[in-house]
């Protein structure tokens, strides 16, 4: 073999190794895929990032967040496009965390998918008193706030904001007027985990149940709820609203109530409420808890605290689970739960005691890429903080 042929052979080998390495690198999730995986649902062709890639990709998007007011078109769980509007503080730092208020507009009886574009302006006076982010998705008659796709839009808007901006995970709030107030009740019932509290104005939570979602006070009680109504509301008579609120209070819901006897439906009196709302935003924080309790709402997104995934017993619709931690032991009670994966940040080892069964070791899971994605999606923050994961087979 001549020297020229030998050099050519080595060159070809080097090119082959280079192409192979490029092929391996191409399996890393690019930023566009990571955004889709986080905001929507990954397809089979999309490579799931590993732990190092998640941190790097999250940092990539965080550097892209700009100050101002913007509108973004997103695609919901039924691949229907809708508009989310949002506004940042005039000046913010990426190394500082800020509150976020997601506002749910009223008047969802139209077919428009753009009413959220500037709906956040309803709460714009809050920005005069504190630095915060505001966002507002869109809903309509096909995707009201209390529907599965409506709740998906709320969570997707939260993820959009946490992907690009430094949102404080303990200071995310949901507020709404009229239909948006009903949406707050639906969210507190099914997806309360990411939120520190709920603010409902000029609405009636009873319409959520009449629309087909069963309300569980055991779920709603896990977050504080501020409810404001008008005495001369022509849509929701105050007596009807008060019967609903009385029921919730009697069943343990942490409810603060206010009534404006001479006001009508809407939020024309909003300037009278801004001081109170500001105080709630400063006071409320997402609680830390060493216990959990959840009634899974069938057919809807469910985001209970520290639950990564769950499977009901086949054909069962009243699945629920509750438990509390004492030292290294979880005491679990469950009904119609096949299995559940829990995030337990403070535990390295745990045993489960369910009902009258003897204690047994819980199975600790080493998270694979799919479970990592489930973890950040369930937290609504693109931050890798899985803690220790345990799989329960109650």
The tens digit of pLDDT for each residue in 234-259 reads 999 999 999 999 999 999 999 999 99
Looking at residue 41, its pLDDT comes to 65
What φ, ψ does residue 331 adopt, rounded to 5°? -100, 115
pTM of the model: 0.89
Using an 8 Å Cβ cutoff, are 360 and 371 in contact?
no
The per-type count for the chain, helices as H runs and strands as E runs, is 10, 17
* Residue 204 and residue 252 in one domain: yes
Residue 162 in tokens: 């946490």
Residue 46 lies in a domain: no
Say how many domains are in the chain: 3
Using an 8 Å Cβ cutoff, are 188 and 198 in contact?
yes
Pairing of strands 197-201, 167-177: parallel
In our burial notation (b when 16+ CB lie closer than 10 A, e otherwise), range 60-98 reads ebeeeeeeeeeeeebebbeeeebbbbbbbbeebeeeeeb
Using an 8 Å Cβ cutoff, are 134 and 86 in contact?
yes
Looking at residue 45, its pLDDT comes to 60
* Residue 70 and residue 106 in one domain: yes
Which among 261, 283, 305 is the end of a domain?
283
Largest CA distance in the chain: 99
Which among 243, 259, 283 is the end of a domain?
283
What is the mean pLDDT, run by run of 10 residues, along the chain of 394 residues? 43 37 43 85 63 82 94 95 98 96 97 98 97 98 97 97 96 98 98 97 96 95 97 96 98 97 97 98 91 89 87 80 80 83 74 72 79 83 76 76
* Residue 236 and residue 370 in one domain: no
Sign of CA dihedral 150, 255, 192, 340: negative
* Residue 271 and residue 379 in one domain: no
Looking at residue 40, its pLDDT comes to 85
* Residue 56 and residue 32 in one domain: no
Residue 218 in tokens: 């055991």
* Cα-to-chain-centroid distance, residue 44: 24
Residue 45 lies in a domain: no
Which helix or strand (DSSP H or E) is residue 364 part of?
A: strand 363-365
By residue range, what is the domain housing residue 370? 291-392
CA–CA–CA angle 355, 333, 318 (5° rounding): 125
* Residue 201 and residue 242 in one domain: yes
Residue 44 lies in a domain: no
* Residue 327 and residue 275 in one domain: no
Report which of 327, 330, 333 is spatially closest to residue 343, judged by C-alpha positions: 330
**Average pLDDT, whole number, for the chain?**
87
pLDDT per position as a tens digit, 13-66: 343 433 333 333 334 456 878 888 889 865 556 666 777 788 888 888 989 999
* Residue 211 and residue 263 in one domain: yes
* Residue 275 and residue 326 in one domain: no
Report which of 286, 284, 291 is spatially closest to residue 380, judged by C-alpha positions: 286
CB-based burial of residue 39 (10 Å sphere; 0-12 exposed, 13-18 middle, 19+ buried)?
Answer: middle
* Residue 70 and residue 163 in one domain: yes
Which among 265, 283, 301 is the end of a domain?
283
Residue 126 lies in a domain: yes
Beta bridge partners of residue 335, listed in sequence order = 320
CATH of the domain at 160: 3.40.50.1820
Residue 16 lies in a domain: yes
Looking at residue 393, its pLDDT comes to 75
* Residue 240 and residue 261 in one domain: yes
Sign of CA dihedral 215, 221, 224, 226: positive
Residue 173's CB is within 10 A of a number of other CB atoms, namely 24
Residue 149 in tokens: 């796709």
* Residue 34 and residue 79 in one domain: no
Residue 201 lies in a domain: yes
Residue 360 lies in a domain: yes
Looking at residue 44, its pLDDT comes to 54
The DSSP code for 318 is -
Looking at residue 17, its pLDDT comes to 38
Residue 69 lies in a domain: yes
Rg of the chain in Å (alpha carbons): 24
> In whole angstroms, what is the distance from residue 365 CA to residue 307 CA?
14
């Amino acid at each position: 073999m001549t020297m020229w042929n030998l050099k050519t052979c080595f060159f070809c080998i080097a090119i082959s190794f280079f192409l192979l390495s490029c092929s391996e690198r191409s399996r890393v999730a690019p930023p566009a895929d990571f955004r889709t995986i986080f905001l929507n649902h990954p397809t089979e062709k999309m490579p799931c990032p590993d732990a190092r890639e998640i941190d790097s990709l999250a940092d990539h998007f965080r550097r892209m967040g700009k100050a101002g007011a913007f509108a973004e078109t997103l695609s919901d769980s039924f691949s229907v496009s809708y508009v989310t509007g949002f506004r940042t503080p005039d000046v913010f730092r990426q190394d500082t965390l800020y509150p976020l208020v997601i506002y749910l507009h009223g008047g969802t009886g139209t077919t428009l998918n753009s009413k959220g574009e500037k709906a956040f302006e309803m709460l714009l006076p809050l920005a005069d008193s504190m630095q915060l982010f505001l966002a507002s998705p869109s809903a309509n008659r096909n995707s009201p706030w209390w529907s599965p796709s409506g709740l998906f839009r709320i969570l997707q808007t939260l993820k959009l904001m946490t992907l690009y901006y430094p949102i404080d995970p303990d200071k995310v709030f949901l507020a709404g007027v009229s239909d948006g107030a009903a949406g707050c009740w639906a969210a507190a019932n099914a997806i309360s985990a990411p939120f520190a509290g709920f603010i409902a104005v000029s609405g009636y939570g009873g319409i959520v149940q009449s629309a087909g979602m069963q309300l569980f006070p055991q779920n709603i009680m896990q977050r504080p709820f501020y409810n404001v109504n008008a005495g001369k509301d022509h849509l929701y008579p105050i007596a009807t609203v008060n019967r609903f609120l009385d029921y919730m209070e009697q069943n343990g819901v942490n409810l603060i109530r206010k009534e404006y006897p001479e006001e009508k439906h809407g939020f024309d009196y909003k300037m009278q409420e801004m001081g109170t709302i500001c105080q709630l935003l400063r006071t409320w924080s997402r609680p830390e808890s060493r216990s959990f309790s959840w009634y899974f709402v069938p057919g809807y997104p469910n985001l209970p605290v520290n639950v990564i995934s769950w499977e009901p017993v086949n054909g069962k619709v009243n699945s629920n689970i509750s438990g509390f931690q004492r030292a290294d032991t979880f005491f679990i009670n469950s009904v119609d739960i096949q299995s559940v994966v829990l995030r337990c940040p403070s535990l390295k080892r745990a045993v489960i005691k369910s009902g009258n069964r003897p204690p047994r070791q819980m199975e600790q899971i080493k998270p694979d890429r799919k479970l990592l994605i489930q973890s950040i999606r369930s937290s609504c923050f693109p931050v890798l903080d899985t803690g220790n994961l345990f799989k329960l087979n109650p």
